Amino acid sequence: MEARTPLTLITGSLGCGKTTLVRRILRAGGRRMAVLMNEFGEIPIDSRVIQGENIEILELAGGCVCCSMTGEFEAAIREIIEKVRPECIIVEATGLAEADALVFEVEDNLPDVRLDSVVCIVDAYMSVRHPHVGQTTRTQLRAAHVVLINKIDLVATADVKEVEARVRGLNRNAVLFKTVGCDVDPLLLFGLELEDHPVFTSRRGEPEFQSFVFTSRVLLDDRKFHKLVSELPECVYRAKGFARFPGGSYLFNYVVGRIDIEAFPADRTQLVFIGRGLNTFREAILAGLKGCEVPDEL
């Protein structure tokens, strides 16, 4: 059994830093990725271009590929999965893309794909110069699980706070990063591995990130587990892994309150959690998970 391919959607206005973020993710490596862009843009890598029916494929180092659409979005995604078989897909949307429409296409029309997260990049400099928020930007921000307020080095601290307030007025739940050159650790966006990570250090005065892992070979009560994860504190913004219940084992994903679960073979429950100031709630969450274990006699 294969899990659905996770897809991360990157949105934002023209020139906000989407391609810069994509390049950071590719440089981080660690897995076979496919990046779908409207054009190859600023990724000048001398590699072989493969002409597909709905995409052009540019082979990158480390087994990754960069794809440019020549057909419809759904057909392009299906062709990427068939030809490339990536571990994850990153879509860099055009600055004019309606994020909610893309989310609908992924969730309703692409059964082999799982929406991993929506990342929206906000250009702090342009937001200060042109504070009016258009409809396209509104839909992108409202659909986002993660927001990067980028280019903060080009504006005053007070202006950054004003931009943040406008973002929060449209989306209070998204995890927010303030960046220069989209300098965010890709591990904080997606792709958490099932192991303990070092503490993620804080940047620009923001609270630091922490993570922890829960592992158990005892089956979990699925109702207790779902109740626990649906009530996770706001400091937890990401969790993933495998969960085993009496009725079977599942791949589990949690992003800013959104829960996704699908049948998948696993020999143990193994979950990683990540968030800001997470150590305050670590013991309570671990105790709650331990309380979900089903006694052997049942």
Q: Domain with 73 in it: what CATH number?
A: 3.40.50.300
* The CA-based dihedral angle spanning residues 104, 108, 112, 114, taken in that order and rounded to the nearest 10 degrees: 50
CB atoms within 10 A of CB 21: 25
**Residue 204: both structure tokens together:** 């620009």
Q: 94: helix, coil or strand? A: coil
Judge if 170 and 228 occupy the same domain. Answer: no
Q: Give the residue with greater pLDDT, 253 vs 32.
A: 253
Mean pLDDT of the region 45-63 = 53
**Residue 8: both structure tokens together:** 């991360």
Domain boundary among 123, 154, 188: 188
For residue 59, the model assigns a pLDDT of 65
Q: 108: helix, coil or strand? A: helix
pTM of the complete model beyond 0.75: yes
Dist CA 250 CA 162 (whole Å): 42
Query: What's the mean per-residue pLDDT of the chain?
Result: 84
* The CA-based dihedral angle spanning residues 59, 60, 64, 65, taken in that order and rounded to the nearest 10 degrees: -40
Mean pLDDT of the region 56-75 = 71
Dist CA 234 CA 238 (whole Å): 10
| In the predicted structure, residue 41 carries a pLDDT above the cut 50 | no
**Residue 258's domain spans which residues?**
209-291
- pLDDT > 90 in the chain, percent: 48
For residue 55, the model assigns a pLDDT of 59
Task: Tell me how many domains the chain contains.
Answer: 2
Judge if 78 and 109 occupy the same domain. Answer: yes
